Amino acid sequence: MIRQVLIISLVLIPFVSLFLAIPAIEFENREAIFHSIGLIVLLSAINVWLATAFAWWLLWTESKWRYILEWLVFLPLFIPMLATLFGLYLILAEAGLIGTYIGVSLGLLVVTLPYSIRLAYNGMAVIGRPLLEQARLLPMRRRFVYVLFPLFSRTMRTIALFTTVILLSQFALIQLIGAGLIPTVTTELYQSYAGNNLSLALSNTWMLIFFPVLIYFLLSGWSRWMVRMLKGRLQ
Amino acid sequence: MSLNVKAIRKQFGTRQILNSVDFEVQPHDIHAIVGVSGSGKSTILRIIAGLETTDGGDVLWNNKSLLNIPAHKRRVTMLSQSALLFPHLTVGENVTLATRSRSRKQAEEWLQVVRLGDRYDAEIHELSGGEQQRVSLARALAAEPELLLLDEPFTNLDPKLKVDLQRFIRDLVKELKLTAILVTHDREEAMLMADRVTLLESGEVTRTGTVEQLYDTAPGFGDFVMLEGELRPLAEVEVSETAGEPVQLMKKIYRFGQCFGEYHFEDGRSVMLSTEESFQIGMMYRIKRKEG
């Protein structure tokens, strides 16, 4: 029991400190919020789509390139983020995408996609190949709507949450590739830290926490409602 | 509509699983593919279902190649060792999903056919193994397949349920005039259910024929019997009332207008032989070499 209490305390310590000061009620830079929400929605959707498609391919392919491709896709997981970031910076600079919304989105996609594919692949492995094979015998729309979506919705939610958390943790990437022109909640947070405004920093920190929690509840509710609705169509 | 499997080859890594496999399935037949584990029999089914690709050869359904048609468009359904029902759906929802018009009414009718008409709203985990396999059968049939693939679907069932379901599926396939392929390692099961049998060994077809042909001619098809101190294929022995080793007839199975009997020796071995209907269950007979 002591061990469990110790572990939980370790996990919760950072959050306890957030209650030690009173946060400012308003968040000044609305543009940063809109950018953050836009990036979260866009990248979560793209990550779920690409990761699911690639994991599905990995699961069934008999290509001799499978292992090489799998290794290449998961390679960024083992490489320090700054190395990836610098390589990305050079390519995007060459393409003239530094300081643009597209450049930041591409950069964040490169960083988040390997994690998403790994999550999607593991999610499919949990469902199991034999069950997914039964689904393959169903017409394509039914397969995705009535089988894959309900069975895979938790994994999709995890991918969206992971994308959100990684995205909100990326100060260096957004600052470097966005060239300071794409403000997000994260970049604002660092500025408030730098300005020694504890109340504003706290407000921004709560905003950082608020996004994933909100997304978690929204996605949970939505997927539960969708599954119930889809099951209703089979009655 | 017949199925032609032509010179199919398949290799996994360096291992040759199927080596130029040929056989033909006649319309409305149950065709058994019999072989030991690793002989490649399930791989054939998976290729026919579209779940596996081939390295060569072709699969023709009504003289049209199936190989370039995606799995869901082949009108083929598969029943496996596990029921593989979708766990988030109820019994009825699993079957409704498979019907072509997503119709609850049709699903209920199919559940009636498998004698589970009152379990539409039951959760999958509430069902026994045999019931789950019957739901799986209802789901497979609800898709109105032209070809039913049976991949050792009786393996995980207890003996009584196994025999019941074997007969039930055979009768149903015949009644609905379906074509079915049964993959099994159990020769007795093949003999009970199939019209024709293909014997597969290390990815190669060793023999194809009707059950009667293989029963009479294929070495190794059917059990061997220890008789006069020697192992003999069943085709060489017969039952009489007068001379030979004593056995007891346990049950009779009627197939193709012929009667098969399951005989038990005192030491627990059992064999199946074609026999006369006049033999009585529970009585002692004699098993001996066929004359000539």
Domain span at residue B190 reads: 3-216
Considering the domain architecture, whether residues B204 and B233 belong to the same structural domain is answered as: no
* pLDDT score recorded for residue B95: 94
Q: Would you place residue B235 in the very low, low, confident or very high pLDDT band (cuts 50, 70, 90)?
A: low
Q: How many CB atoms lie within 10 A of CB A164?
A: 26
Q: Where are the alpha helices (DSSP H) in chain B?
A: 41-49, 91-98, 104-113, 129-142, 159-175, 187-193, 211-217
Size of interface A-B (CB pairs under 8 A): 58
CATH at residue B228: 2.40.50.140
Domain A32-232 sits in CATH at: 1.10.3720.10
More confident residue, A26 or B273: B273
Whether B51 and chain A come into contact, CB under 8 Å, resolves to yes
Give the residue among B71, B193, B44, B47 at the shortest CA–CA distance from B143. B71
Structure confidence at residue B92 (pLDDT) = 93
Looking at the structure, do residues B190 and B261 belong to the same domain, yes or no? no
* Mean pLDDT of chain B, nearest integer: 85
Domain ranges of chain A: 32-232
Collapsed DSSP state (helix, strand, coil) of residue B196? strand
**Which residues does chain A have within 8 Å of residue B104's beta carbon, measured at their own beta carbons?**
234-235
Task: Return the residue of B nearest to A144 by Cα.
Answer: B97
Q: Does residue B16 sit in the same domain as residue B67?
A: yes
| pLDDT tops 70 at residue B20 | yes
Rounded to 5 degrees, φ, ψ at B65 are -70, 135
Distance from C-alpha of B83 to C-alpha of B49, rounded to nearest angstrom: 17
Instruction: Report the candidate in A111, A197, A88, A217 with the shortest Cα–Cα distance to residue A162.
Output: A111
Rounded Cα distance between B44 and B10, Å, is 9
Whether residues B236 and B201 share a domain: the answer is no
Q: Which of B198, B265, B255 lies closest to B225, judged by CA?
A: B265
Residue spans of chain A under pLDDT 50: none
Question: Please, are residues B240 and B285 in contact by the beta-carbon 8 Å criterion?
Answer: yes
| Token couple for B104 | 């609850």
- Check residue A156 and give its pLDDT: 93
> Predicted confidence band at B258 (pLDDT cuts at 50, 70, 90)?
low
Same domain, residue pair B207 and B232: no
Residue B230, pLDDT score: 64
Contact indicator for B98, B144 with CB cutoff of 8 Å? no
Quick check: B131 and B116 in contact, CB under 8 A? yes
Q: Given an 8 Å threshold on Cβ–Cβ distance, is B77 in contact with A137?
A: yes
pLDDT > 90 in chain B, percent? 35
Q: Hey, is the C-beta of B143 within 8 angstroms of any chain A C-beta?
A: yes
Q: Is pLDDT larger for residue B177 or for residue B270?
A: B177
Euclidean distance between CA atoms A24 and A1, whole angstroms: 38
So what's the pLDDT on residue B269? Answer: 74
| DSSP H or E stretch at residue A217 | helix A198-232
Parallel/antiparallel/unpaired status of strands B64-65 and B76-79:
unpaired
Same domain, B80 and B170: yes
Distances (CA, A) of B114 to B107, B108, B118, B179: 11, 10, 11, 18
Task: Give B78's contacts in chain A (Cβ within 8 Å).
Answer: 134, 137
**Spacing of C-alpha B38 from chain mean position:** 17
Largest Cα–Cα distance of chain A, in whole Å? 61
Residue B237: in which H helix or E strand, if any?
A: strand B237-240
Same domain? For B167 and B196 the reply is yes
- Token pair listed for B100: 């072509």
B15 Cβ under 8 Å from any chain A Cβ: no
My answer on whether B105 and B236 are in the same domain is no
Residue where one domain finishes, among candidates B197, B216, B235:
B216
Residues 6+ apart with CB under 8 A from B292: none
What's residue B220's pLDDT? Answer: 58
* End position of a domain, from candidates B182, B197, B216: B216
* A131 vs B contacts (CB less than 8 Å): 84, 86
pLDDT of residue B1: 74
Give residue-wise pLDDT tens across range B26-57: 999 999 999 888 889 999 999 999 999 999 99
- Give dist(CA A181, CA A175) in Å, integer: 8
Task: Pick the residue of B78, B84, B85, B99 with the most A CBs within 10 A to test the interface with A by mutation.
Answer: B84
CA nearest neighbour of B218 among B200, B203, B231, B230: B200
pTM attached to this predicted model: 0.75
HSE toward the beta carbon, residue B289, CA cutoff 13 A: 9
**What is the pLDDT confidence band of residue B278, given thresholds at 50, 70 and 90?**
confident
Kindly determine whether residue A234 and residue B51, on different chains, have CB atoms separated by under 8 Å. no
Q: Are residues B255 and B196 in the same domain?
A: no
Per-residue pLDDT reduced to its tens digit, B74-115: 989 999 988 999 999 999 999 999 998 888 898 999 998 888
Give the pLDDT score at A23: 65
- Which pLDDT tens digit goes with each residue over B193-212? 888 999 998 889 988 988 77
Per the listing, tokens 């594919």 go with A117
Residue B232's pLDDT band (cuts 50, 70, 90): low
Q: Both tokens of residue A42?
A: 């866009």
A190 three-state secondary structure: helix
pLDDT of residue A174: 85
Q: Which of B45, B88, B156 best tests the A interface by mutation, with the highest count of A CBs <10 A?
A: B88
Note the ipTM here: 0.76
Q: Which residues contact B245 (CB under 8 A, 6 or more apart)?
A: B227, B265, B286, B287, B288
Chain B residue closest in CA terms to A134: B84
State the total domains in chain B. Answer: 2
Among A62, A136, A235, the residue with its CB nearest the CB of B71 is A136
Query: Which stretch of DSSP H or E encloses residue B262?
Result: strand B258-264
Query: Same domain, yes or no, for B164 and B265?
Result: no
Does the pLDDT value for residue B277 go beyond 80? no
Which of B185, B216, B247 is the C-terminal boundary of a domain? Answer: B216
**Six token digits for residue B5:** 């499997």
So what's the pLDDT on residue B229?
65
Token representation of residue A202 = 């706290």
Helix (H, G, I), strand (E, B) or coil at B32: strand
Domain identity same for B184 and B235: no
